[in-house]
Chains A and B, each alone.
Chain A
Amino acid sequence: MSNIYMPDLMEVVEVKQHTADVKSVKIKFKDPEKQAKFSFRVGQFGMYSLFGEGESTFNICSSSNWKDHIEFCFRKTGKVTDALWRVDEGDTIGFRGPYGNSYPMEAWEGKNLVFIGGGIAMPPIRCAIWYALENRAKYGDITIVYGARTPRDLVFTDELEKWAEYDRVRVIQCVDPGGETPEWKGEVGLIPNVLAAANVPAGNTAALVIGPPIMIKFTLPVLDRMGVLAPDIYTSLENRMKCGVGKCGRCNCGPVYVCKEGPIFTMEQLNALPADF
């Protein structure tokens, strides 16, 4: 007998504030045996509980190669995330997971990878970037295009610099026109335009695009012109979820339960779904 809605208790080991409303949190299982046994695949998500407040869905944004903790990153936006904002080192939270499908890291071997993220979308890309870098020899050129409204809205900025130091990795940072500060050294422009101007070689390429729907919408034609086609473009859906295990019906979108068959889909798959996301 097992209760599929029962979370494991996790200790908060580190909290880091990235922007005015984004924090990342490192957690580990209170039970060391569970920590040792836990495994997941990058792209999967979890259900994080703050007891008395509720449960929220976040991507696991650490690499699956990191065994001593898992990490998530959230934006303060409602009941649970407001309360999570007050969580500190040593506190206890709940975790269920991992749930959902994952990035096809094996199928991407031998390919060039383009990661495109807007705003808070960096966490679900970050896990794939670290995974690819930790297996550097298996992947071709890696291009990371990361944009936000202003420099203050970028998250994991220290890691952007680390990634750029790797061999055959190009990191392009951009902020929206008008969002730049005098110190800003990156590009100024909207992600689709910056991508179009960046001359990213696109043969044998898989792209992961995560961000606000409007950004995705205008980025797709650019990728198309570059020659990266719908079956090779991946994204992660954020349908509202409750159970995470295909029971509660909330994430249902046409023929799929996003929590089970997603959240990662290719654009080709998304084009075949009704627009309920």
Chain B
Amino acid sequence: MSETITQQALRALVDEWIGAGTKVAGPSYVKKDLCQYVPLTSSAELLLEGFIHPRNSVKDFFFPRHEKIYEYTLKGHEVELADMTPASTPQVIVAARPCDTAAVAILDAVFNWGEKDEFYTQRREAATIVALACVTHDSHCFCTSVGIGPDAEKGADVMLLPLDGGFEVRCLTEKGKTLFAGRTQPSDKTAVIPEGPKVKVSPEQVRAALEDYDNPLWKTATLRCLSCGACSFTCPTCHCFDIVDEGNAHGGCRAKNWDSCQLCMFTKHASGHNPRNVQGQRQRQRTQHKFRIYPDKFGEVLCTGCGNCARNCPVSLGILGTLVELCAEMPKTVGESK
């Protein structure tokens, strides 16, 4: 037994949300061959099949690339500040890939440890995430290597699983149940989701390989990296940001902008000293952070195997290739025991 919804009914429901003033975002072709998660003005824009992974990730709706944190007005010696923490407005992310949905759950840790980042947490609390299971994958996908998969439910409030002409609907949380209440039909069919990409790498083995900080691989394997940051910006789990002022003598704002450990200025001290002066060190940092530092600190690998870093890299790098190379040098037994 399962609950189902037809494509048509789902689209009608999406239009209802939009009509009620809820912010809705989902995958859409913004131009030929470029599929991205974008705010939707109508369900007609929404893609429900025929795409593998949008070029961006759903983090954009919790942690936007640019956001004001406050505005300031200068009046002589005095300063006035206006808090720009977003009001908690309901939003629905629909047809999010499981690797993106899982990423949000993983990011919760860093935005909540110690001090809470209300910019993230407000949006997160007011959001309902409707995931869409994957029936195809490409050579960049490796979700199954990092404990996720084509129908992984992590971070999702609802899971939609393609089932002839529509979807099986699994409501996973109260939020999800509320969103779909009365909209689904019981059915005696259940969706069968293909297995997804084969396992390509083991995080334990990667973790073990990363113990060797001075691995010569970093000097060679990533030499062609341009330090452009495209991998980080389109990665669902990368979350580094900058804090900058934009304004003039009368006023302006302070903003949180995306940043990346791949950019050469990221760690440069005022003295000119730069702890990560060459690109190999910066690639090492990204990999260390995802497969060693974050897991050690927050208990989860900071990568969902979405493959976006490879899809978006202008010089065909991507973390998977690096991980495979890293592990190829390791004796097979290391990290596999436990």
**Contact check: which of B252, B254, B259, B268 meets A5 at CB < 8 Å?**
B254
A53 at the interface (CB under 8 A from B): yes
Are A77 and B270 within 8 A (Cβ)?
yes
A94 and B80 alpha carbons, distance in the complex (Å): 11
| Chain B nearest Cβ from A196, distance in angstroms | 26
Knowing A5-B243, A252-B293, the reply to whether A239 touches B114 (Cβ < 8 A) is no
Interface residues of B in 265-309 (CB under 8 A from A): 266-271, 273, 275-276, 281, 285, 288-289, 292-293, 296-297
Partner of B245, one of A51, A239, A249, A277: A51
Question: How far apart sit A277 and B281, CA to CA, in the bound complex (Å)?
Answer: 12
B28-42 CB mask vs A (1 if < 8 Å, else 0) is 000000000000000
Q: In chain B, residues 77-107, which have Cβ atoms closer than 8 Å to a Cβ of chain A? A: 77-79, 81, 83-85
Chain B residues packing against A (C-beta within 8 Å): 69-70, 72, 74, 77-79, 81, 83-85, 110-111, 113-119, 122, 213, 239-245, 247-249, 251-252, 254, 256, 259, 261, 266-271, 273, 275-276, 281, 285, 288-289, 292-293, 296-297
Does A248 contact B241, Cβ atoms closer than 8 Å?
yes
Contacts of A276 in B (CB 8 A): 267, 275-276, 281, 285
* Interface flag for A216 (CB, 8 Å): no
**Contact assessment for A277 and B275 in the assembled complex, using a CB-CB cutoff below 8 Å:** yes
Please tell me if A2 contacts chain B, counting CB pairs below 8 Å. Answer: yes
Known: A54-B245, A254-B288. A5 touches B69 (CB 8 A): yes
State which size class the interface on A falls in.
35 or more
Q: Is the CB of A246 within 8 A of B83?
A: no
Which residues on the B side are within 8 Å of A13 (C-beta)?
Answer: none
Interface residues of chain A, those whose CB is within 8 Å of chain B, are 1-7, 9, 49, 51-55, 75, 77-78, 81, 90-92, 94, 212-213, 238-240, 242-243, 245-250, 252-255, 260, 274-277
8 pairs of residues in contact across A and B, judged by CB atoms under 8 Å: A3-B84, A4-B115, A9-B79, A9-B81, A52-B247, A52-B249, A242-B259, A274-B213
